Amino acid sequence: MKYIIYARKSTESEERQVRSIESQISELREFAAKEKLEIVASLCEAQTAKEPGRMKFAEMLSFLELGKADGILSWNPDRLARNSIDGGQIIYLLDTGKIKDLKFPTHWFENTPQGKFMLNIAFGQSKYYVDNLSENIKRGHRAKLRKGIWPSFAPLGYLNNHKTRDVDMDLEKAPLVRKGFELYATGKYTLKQIARALKDLGLRSYKGNVLAVSCVQRILKSTFYYGIFEFNGETYQGSHEPLISKKLFDKCQEVMKDRGHIKTRKAEHTFPFRGLLTCGECKCMITAETQKGHNYYRCTKKREMCSQKYVREELLTEQVKSFLQKVSLPSQDTEKVLSELDKDEQKAKEDSKVIVQNLKSELADVEVRLDKLLSAYLDEIISAEEYTAQKQKMLDQRVEQKEKIHEIEDKGVSWLEPARAWVKSLNQADKLLESGDKSEMTTFLKQIGSNHILIDKSFSFSPKKPFQILCERRVSRREVELSFLQNAALSLSATPPPFRRDYCLYLKFLRIRLKFRQTGNKSLRLATPAPLHFLNGIVPKISGRTEVMFSRIPSVCDHQLS
């Protein structure tokens, strides 16, 4: 009787297999020599038997059906099949007589009804092992995902920690990956240039390969690096340490969307305001061209006849600078204003700390009253109806106080950040006036407003709220009326400070005015009815509701900044 040796291992790591292919072949040849079996062929493959479609397995069955062999010699039935189709083919060929015998060093088999029954059980056990293993892996993945742990091989810049089953930052590769994000966010590099730069920095994949452009693109588009990841179509908050900020990631996506590659133009044909403006008459885009050494901007006139004429770039630039002068703030004044906001922040932190302590004290008092209420009910001092009604009121009060504590601790003084960012943007306008960089002016105009229109050789657009207030009230570059500075936090932030809502309403009606004016000794003064840092304190009084009182609100304060 002629036999075919069949040896197989899956594609998993070798240490997880019962026998390697080499050891299987060695053991099977020794077994064949001992049993005096005639071997006509040896087939080996490294592929899982969980699914049908193995090439060498199909070749072996073809040998058997053609009569070139009569039986199979393999290490164990699970080497032949771990799925119903392959196992069924073996049983069917035994039934039809195409396979006359099966030999296993680790398993008994004879070609009888009882033998085929036991073989079916062995194949069933193999399939059960695969199915159970798959379910265990999925359950482990679900448990990891609930904890925010990445359940697969760590992305480039991270390493799998086999002790904690989490991913840790790769101290060697992480800075290089972060550098790739930072370079791309500038908008000055293509994906190909980023890949080349990372190659020069020495960044390689964990297999030691140079990163392809497609790999760099996948990295730059992966949310994993700022702490969020997707798995099987669902989004999870990762427990790993973020490599970059969400702001940097968003900037990279913006660059990838708008400037996937850098368009190089000759210097004489660079038009900084092209792509910014639309025609105020026909709503078409404004294009540009060079004539006799000067840049001219005109309507494309693609939709209908338009009467708008050419505008020289010099005239347009002067109009843009005129607007920038209205919203600019010199560096020395910027530092002074930011210093005042820092004082507001410190005062807000102190106020919130006091309020949280008072709320926690009230919360502890509610807990004591709940215990006393329960004792009164158990001692039959009060009825069940009274107990239920009083308990519900106290529980509601406890929930409200916990929510207030959480709101104050969670939001903190983040409401001041929009005001800081806005003041810094005013200083950016001042720097643009000094540098004269027209391309940067275009970028700045896009950031602070929309609907940029050119009509009758005049430039106009719709600034965002705080810039609009400044444009309407500013007299000159040094002497301005700034009713928006303290209110900038309110107009820019979606959520005002939770413990100063009453004060915010007070600000709206009071119309705080901050006036910068040039004085005789060249110093800068700030005049205001009641800026935040002039408050002596906020005294909370909790009795069913929170009342915020102000111990002192001066009518007019003249505060020396210089």
Rounded CA gap, 89 and 107, in Å?
A: 19
Instruction: Give the homologous superfamily in CATH for domain 158-258.
Output: Putative Large Serine Recombinase; Chain B, Domain 2 (3.90.1750.20)
Instruction: Give the amino acid at 222.
Output: S
Q: What's the pLDDT tens digit per position in 75-117? A: 888 888 888 888 888 888 999 999 999 999 888 888 888 888 8
For the chain, which residues make up each domain, given as ranges? 2-142, 158-258, 271-325, 326-562
First to last CA, the chain: 106
Which pLDDT band holds residue 262 (cuts at 50, 70, 90)?
very low
- Cα–Cα distances in Å, from 235 out to 5, 90, 149, 242, 252? 48, 44, 12, 15, 20
| 212 or 402, higher pLDDT | 212
Taking the model in full, what pTM does it have? 0.37
> Tell me, what's the pLDDT at 556?
29
Question: 12 versus 189: which is more confidently predicted?
Answer: 189
Residues 297/277, Cβ–Cβ less than 8 Å: yes
Question: Residue 296 has what pLDDT?
Answer: 92
**Total Cβ atoms within 10 A of residue 200:** 8
Q: Quick one: pLDDT band at residue 158, thresholds 50, 70, 90?
A: very high
The CATH superfamily holding the domain 2-142 is Resolvase, N-terminal catalytic domain (3.40.50.1390)
